[in-house]
């Protein structure tokens, strides 16, 4: 069952935003070999950034967010 204010959570929660960013970073990591060496980016850089972002999302999920109330 979804929480009553799930739409607001999707729009405003930092944990959701950070998870979307982690997904984007993972996609970039997967797409790098397709670019054929146009950019020199150290191997694993985006994987590390994605991992750090997921860690940040975990912390953000546990913290209360300012101006984010259930009644809205």
Chain segment 42-69, per-residue pLDDT in tens: 888 988 999 999 999 999 989 877 766 5
pLDDT of 2: 85
13-16, long-range: CB < 8 A, 24+ apart: 13/60, 13/61, 13/65, 13/68, 14/57, 14/60, 14/65, 15/57, 15/58, 15/60, 15/61, 16/57
Domain ranges of the chain: 13-62
Q: Give tens-digit pLDDT for 14-49.
A: 999 999 999 999 998 888 888 777 778 888 898 899
pLDDT of 67: 63
pLDDT of 72: 45
What does the radius of gyration of the chain's CA atoms come to, in whole angstroms?
16
Handedness of CA 13, 58, 6, 63 (dihedral sign): negative
């Amino acid at each position: 069952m979804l929480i009553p204010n799930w739409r607001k959570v999707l729009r405003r929660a930092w944990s959701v935003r950070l998870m979307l960013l982690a997904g984007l970073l993972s996609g970039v990591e997967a797409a790098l070999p397709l670019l054929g060496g146009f950019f020199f980016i150290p191997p694993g850089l985006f994987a590390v950034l994605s991992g750090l972002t997921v860690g940040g999302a975990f912390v953000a999920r546990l913290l209360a967010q300012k101006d984010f109330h259930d009644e809205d």
